[in-house]
Chain A
């Protein structure tokens, strides 16, 4: 059975939290650091600010410029990367265990003494804008969440694109980035987990000497805000010439601390979380319409979204969306049987250990537990919680956490001219173009396509 391994947890006087977990299967050391903040604290700066700050951390810190930093990390065979999310900037790193001292030095430099050089900032910003264009060219589905969240959470911090849009990034300045760092970096925002083949005493000493003197952040920590509700509508994003349509069906869901998470996981496994799910059965197995269909919950400090996503040939767009909504309707009307729950439970338990296999897996899991204040019972008590779910509980959770088809928001990316009137039955249609530089319609002028 999976249990949280023995580990040390300490909170420094300035609020920094440190967790050390030894695992010695391979001579590697993994680190996961979370800095509370993220895109929800971007304002008044434009969306994408936290994301650029994260990228800037490894573009020079302490005594090293960007190139020397990369050369040092890679010269030791290591990896080091920082990425913003909605509620935190996450720094992930992995080195050979012999380089424990170097890894902690680089981590301390990036968090406490990043150079934040203007030249590097400008280049990262340009590149990030180009990356969005490149993704629109080849993998627009990667952006479908950004469109969906922008519409679903309009007016709420979760609506902002974490990595910015082409137009919002163009407005982020170097001063915004520096302001973000001055306001939202500090000891009380830090959760640091080191896991792997580590020397605990030396690590603790090194972390204390690196972070004990770090002041607290000056900005207010992000406030939890209630997620909005929504009525049914359709955002149609025109991608002329696209061979197929990507669609996203979303609704605000539940928060990370949702008390009936075990039941939620089992029901979602059955609905859209595995190959034989109701959704994949409709869109792939029975009809051959799509390569795949899935559903998932994003659960943050407050309720994130529930979403269904899939893709089909343009001509089959409406038929596929209808099948997905009918599956959702059936989930509500029929619930799930004890036999289905038994299968989902075996599946969830059988796959659970595979996600908690390596030191890096454990570093991420423990940082997450600490961040959301979940306690180790989140992992240790999970099997028992799964065992208690019966069809009645499942039905209650379906009613509480899964949207009914009349509540959903739809995003459709495809060839609008060929999708044509197919979408009218799903609600009022809001049109925009994939090449528009924002994830909401009408945010920028009507310049001609390139």
Chain B
């Protein structure tokens, strides 16, 4: 029996987050979406430029191209030399970064409000005028190879996840690693880069979000000045691939010179816009968030078959994966850990979760939501996530309400739908064999 002696803490009746009325959204004549959230507690602005392109939009032979673009976007335009983007932005107090996923590429800038016009001009310039100088392409291939060694080849978690994901999908491009296969990283041609740029870095494929110390109308005016002259392109061809149903469990086993084995389970899961999204988030929290979660308690504290339990739901445009990941103590048999994990998951499917567990997950989610809203960076991200993956930025203000509406039965039902062994891929990385060397 699961302990339920503690009185459940009642769900927090969150006030709807303030600021909704202040948010200003506009679609430019070329189809680019601009969303501005004015908040004035610090004199700064966070900018996100969301591009609807990720490794999902690749094909065999050009894997990693979306991520490579993320790098190339910092390497000069027809109007500004290599390095100018960073030099100009930093000299005005701004910093930047970017990330690429299976579904999107997101460019991020954080800067004092006084630099707004410069930053918009720089962003529009690289969307309109990217240069493709060959020496820089070659140098950047080296940088990406270094990133791949760091995140995949020398990182067992990254390596195992890459191979599990590749095995989990038969036809859908979610099987490609976002950073790309090494042979592809070495082999892209200039034409591949140019075609990708024209197709996906078109204004009608972009969403710009801004949060911070700004006047929304003035910000939209500036966005219009710099982005509206960029011509729209034919919309990218939709990704029509639908992964065929998985009919049985798949296994990936990697033997390496390691001390601590790893176990990963990747279950087929719905897409981000699925109506059960809130229930899936809460289920994940019940399973693995915090020391009171089911899997932590069973596998780490009681049975001592893991030193750490983690997981996430890969929320994308298409149905993806829900991951559970365990790091095992030295000399632990992964099969034993897997059997114990399965018994725990079967109980959730059979018996559901307790009211206390549901309330706990809900309160954690609501606090997590408020923590994100506490920063301009969190606000810019939330606007982008909701606009891009849910089709409507203002839905973010409904998040606390949607979390409050989830029932125990809905949690049990999503557990039953998703946590089926026949629709999962199990990855085991264990000691043995020789460590594979990176190809030269």
Which of A's residues lie within 8 Å of B, judged by CB? 1-2, 25-28, 58, 66-68, 70-79, 94-96, 98, 123, 126-127, 130-131, 133-134, 136-140, 240-244, 274-276, 284-291, 311-313, 315, 342-343, 346-347, 349-351, 353-354, 356-359, 435, 449-450
B residues less than 8 Å from A240 (CB atoms):
257, 435
Indicate if the CB atoms of B150 and A311 lie closer than 8 Å.
yes
Indicate if the CB atoms of B93 and A347 lie closer than 8 Å.
yes
Indicate if the CB atoms of B436 and A346 lie closer than 8 Å.
no
Which of B's residues lie within 8 Å of A, judged by CB? 3, 6, 8-9, 12, 14-15, 41-44, 83, 86-87, 90-96, 110-112, 115, 138-143, 145-147, 149-150, 153-158, 257-260, 289-293, 297, 300-301, 304, 307-308, 327, 329-330, 356, 359-360, 362-368, 370-371, 373-377, 431, 434-438, 440
Indicate if the CB atoms of B260 and A133 lie closer than 8 Å.
yes
Give the nearest-CB partner of A133 in chain B: B259
Give the nearest-CB partner of B438 in chain A: A243
Indicate if the CB atoms of B12 and A28 lie closer than 8 Å.
no
Whole-angstrom distance between the Cβ of A389 and the nearest chain B Cβ: 16
Between B42, B143, B155, B367, the greatest number of chain A beta carbons within 10 A of the residue's beta carbon is seen for B367
A residues less than 8 Å from B304 (CB atoms):
123, 126
A residues less than 8 Å from B90 (CB atoms):
274-276, 343, 346-347
A residues less than 8 Å from B356 (CB atoms):
71, 75
A355 and B289 alpha carbons, distance in the complex (Å): 26
Whole-angstrom distance between the Cβ of A416 and the nearest chain B Cβ: 14
Whole-angstrom distance between the Cβ of A142 and the nearest chain B Cβ: 11
B residues less than 8 Å from A27 (CB atoms):
14-15, 370
A286 and B330 alpha carbons, distance in the complex (Å): 42
Supposing A28-B370, A291-B147 touch, asked if A74 and B259 sit within 8 A by C-beta, the answer is no
Give the nearest-CB partner of B363 in chain A: A77
Main secondary structure of the interface of B (DSSP, over half): mixed
Between A95, A358, A449, the greatest number of chain B beta carbons within 10 A of the residue's beta carbon is seen for A358
A77 and B358 alpha carbons, distance in the complex (Å): 11
A residues less than 8 Å from B257 (CB atoms):
240-241, 449
Supposing A74-B292, A347-B95, A351-B93 touch, asked if A357 and B376 sit within 8 A by C-beta, the answer is yes
B residues less than 8 Å from A74 (CB atoms):
289-293, 360, 363-364
A residues less than 8 Å from B14 (CB atoms):
27
Indicate if the CB atoms of A358 and B435 lie closer than 8 Å.
no
B residues less than 8 Å from A66 (CB atoms):
291, 301
Indicate if the CB atoms of A274 and B364 lie closer than 8 Å.
no
Please name the 4 residue pairs, one residue from A and one from B, whose CB atoms are nearest each other, closest first: A350-B93, A77-B363, A241-B435, A288-B142
A312 and B258 alpha carbons, distance in the complex (Å): 21
A78 and B431 alpha carbons, distance in the complex (Å): 38
A94 and B374 alpha carbons, distance in the complex (Å): 13
A residues less than 8 Å from B370 (CB atoms):
26-28, 96
Whole-angstrom distance between the Cβ of B363 and the nearest chain A Cβ: 3
Indicate if the CB atoms of B9 and A76 lie closer than 8 Å.
yes
**A137: which of B8, B259, B289, B374 is its contact (CB, 8 Å)?**
B259
B residues less than 8 Å from A26 (CB atoms):
370-371, 373-374
Indicate if the CB atoms of B434 and A241 lie closer than 8 Å.
yes
Indicate if the CB atoms of B6 and A75 lie closer than 8 Å.
yes
Indicate if the CB atoms of B359 and A357 lie closer than 8 Å.
no
A residues less than 8 Å from B365 (CB atoms):
77
Indicate if the CB atoms of A72 and B374 lie closer than 8 Å.
no
Given A78-B367, A138-B157; 8 other pairs, CB 8 A cutoff: A75-B9, A96-B366, A138-B155, A244-B153, A285-B83, A313-B149, A350-B94, A350-B111
Indicate if the CB atoms of A77 and B367 lie closer than 8 Å.
yes
Between B154, B300, B373, the greatest number of chain A beta carbons within 10 A of the residue's beta carbon is seen for B154
Whole-angstrom distance between the Cβ of B377 and the nearest chain A Cβ: 8
Between A27, A75, A287, A291, the greatest number of chain B beta carbons within 10 A of the residue's beta carbon is seen for A75
**A291: which of B138, B143, B301 is its contact (CB, 8 Å)?**
B143
Give the nearest-CB partner of B434 in chain A: A241
**A77: which of B12, B139, B440 is its contact (CB, 8 Å)?**
B12
Indicate if the CB atoms of B138 and A288 lie closer than 8 Å.
yes
Indicate if the CB atoms of A244 and B154 lie closer than 8 Å.
yes
B residues less than 8 Å from A312 (CB atoms):
146
B residues less than 8 Å from A58 (CB atoms):
291
